[in-house]
Every structure is written in C-alpha cells, then in structure tokens.
Structure 1
C-alpha cells in the first residue's frame, strides 16, 4: 500500500519538529508548499518559432 506524503514538498521539511515519521504525513497545520522556481524559465532565452503550413 502506497501512502500519500506531503513532507517532500514542504518548505519546513528540513527543520520540522512536528513528527519524526515524515513518510506517512497526509495533513499538517504547518504545511507550506515549495513554490516552483520561475528563475530557470526567465533566465533561459526563448527562441521565437514560426509555424509553417505545408
């Protein structure tokens, strides 16, 4: 049986003291999700492509 676990995507995971059993946490009052980083997308130059119908 596979358990849902929210700890790996929580910003407090490295210093959380609420539980030591972080492999089975499905709800937490202190949970704050890690925000996806847009810096990689912004720093990479975007190539403009044109669509050509054949």
Structure 2
C-alpha cells in the first residue's frame, strides 16, 4: 500500500496507475509464474552440524 500511496502523490503517476488498472480490468496484462527464491542467503547456510563462519 505504501507504493500505491507514493504513486498517487503525482497527477501523472495517478493517471498511469488508473489506466493500468483499467487495462487489467478489461482483460489486458500477462499472467506470469512467480519465482520461488531461496529466502536465506547462501552465506548464512552452514554444513550439517557446522556453525556459521
């Protein structure tokens, strides 16, 4: 919601956002799969029984 509020601060961005919503409501847009990323950075992983370095 913070991002949307930020976009609505300017008239030009408000116009773009509303136009995008209208296109989506009319069936526009592209459905995409979300990428499931590893939420834990590799640097924090430890070998079995090990401790972080």
TM > 0.5 fold call: no
With a CA cutoff of 8 Å and minimum separation of 6, indicate the structure with the bigger relative contact order. 1
Higher helix fraction (1 or 2): 2
Larger radius of gyration: 2
Name the TM-score, length of structure 1 as normaliser: 0.27
